[in-house]
Amino acid sequence: MAKFLVQKSGPLNGEVVISGAKNAVLPLMAATILSEEECVISDVPQLKDVDVMKEILLSIGGKIKSAEEGVLSIDMGNIEKWEADYDLVSRMRASFLVMGSLLGRCGRAKVYMPGGCTIGARPIDLHLKGFEALGAEIIVKDNFIEAIAPEGGLRGESIYLDFPSVGATENIMAAAVLAEGTTYIENAAEEPEIVDLANFLNKMGARIKGAGTDTIKIEGVERVHGASHTVIPDRIEAGTYMLAAAITRGTLLIKNMVPDHVKPITAKLRESGVTVELADEGLYVDASGDRKLVAADIKTLPYPGFPTDIQSPFMSFLTTVEGSSTVIETVFENRLMHVAELNRMGANIMTEGNKAIVQGCKHLEGAQVIATDLRAGAALVLAGLVASGTTEISEIYHIERGYEKFTEKFRAIGANIMRVEE
């Protein structure tokens, strides 16, 4: 297994260009199933998760060409089966996002039950509640979930989500596109990735309004055609580099990003004393000089609240500032496992339930630590950049799933990070 060796690195300085969003491109690729015509998606990041989604589309009969780096031409004209196999779904739980499009296009979908992961049980009850509301029969058997549309196809309905689930909103929106009549998703997720998906579907001929608010209206249409679309920049990658500048007391120009998508991160960094300014191509983050950086409390919430995916990178930063910070994780039930790893590096963090109390200004020391999820892995790299000695991070496949050219981008701004095979 590969691991990262991270050495104490001076302030990171320079420019970093943000890639297309992992959490936008996966639902966009799944949505191409709805069309019999070719779709072209640009700014596709080179990620292992994208490779798995490609394999799923190919496995059900899709044809995929890539004329140039970052551009995928996806032709789902000839779907041979409506089943996503175990070995693919078990490698990436986001594979479940094909269910809504398959059900909408073929009237049937059979997907292996996506497992939980280290951050939580990751149930799919809200996805299934939505499919059933649209008239589908749900059969759970041998760890497979099958959804079967009624004769005449799915019918539009009003659906209330008990929690503004990103995946459930995306899956139900996709299933509703070709349904008979109008669907309302209430208490919908409002993430930018939902808006990106709705924009793509509307380019394909869907009739969706309200994406980005808590109520999304989908008027069913007969069919949708092909379309071209560019993936929005990855706001979580952008936030990770904002924190990299902050924790190393550096200055970074973060390009090809949408400042509006990272407002909570900007607000909290400013509260800590970091300068964050709009630049003509993104954001300029400056934590340099002998400025005093102070504690800030964060509480993760669905968008537009503070993003759960930036909770762990922000916590790494909080271990280095003056004062005590409170970090509350409200989105996932088990997303504080990086606390134990940071404490092994000399941090002083106490947890009680979903709350962590971070005593700042600790001198971190390099240690052998484990990436427990994609973002916790990035958080440990950030901590390693300021810890004395060498930090050895294992289970880095998590990180490489979701950050394009991770070591290249970090080394280009002065990080001392090396990928080695164990």
Binding site for ligand EPZ (CB under 6 A): 22-23, 26, 94, 120, 122-127, 163, 165-168, 189, 308-309, 331-332, 374-375, 402
Least separation in angstroms between CB 32 and ligand EPZ: 16
Would you say 364 or 383 has its CB closer to ligand EPZ? Answer: 383
CA-CA-CA-CA torsion sign (115, 117, 123, 128): negative
Cα dihedral: 151, 154, 156, 159 (round 10) = 120
| Residue nearest ligand EPZ by beta-carbon distance | 167
20 closest CA partner among 63, 57, 61, 53: 53
Would you say 186 or 322 has its CB closer to ligand EPZ? Answer: 186
Would you say 110 or 362 has its CB closer to ligand EPZ? Answer: 110
Least separation in angstroms between CB 240 and ligand EPZ: 10
- List alpha helices for 120-183, DSSP H: 125-133, 166-176
Least separation in angstroms between CB 2 and ligand EPZ: 19
The SS3 of residue 378 is: helix
List C-alpha distances in Å: 140 to 110, 131, 172, 173, 258: 9, 13, 18, 22, 40
Respond yes or no: is residue 117 known to be catalytic: yes
Would you say 22 or 249 has its CB closer to ligand EPZ? Answer: 22
Would you say 127 or 229 has its CB closer to ligand EPZ? Answer: 127
Phi then psi for 372, rounded to 5 degrees? Answer: -95, -20
What contacts 65, CB < 8 A, 6 or more positions away? 72, 73, 75
Cβ atoms of residues 262 and 239 within 8 Å: yes
Catalytic residue among 39, 106, 117, 361, which? 117
In this structure, what token pair is assigned to residue 352? 């009680």
Least separation in angstroms between CB 354 and ligand EPZ: 11
Least separation in angstroms between CB 233 and ligand EPZ: 14
Q: Which residues are catalytic?
A: 117
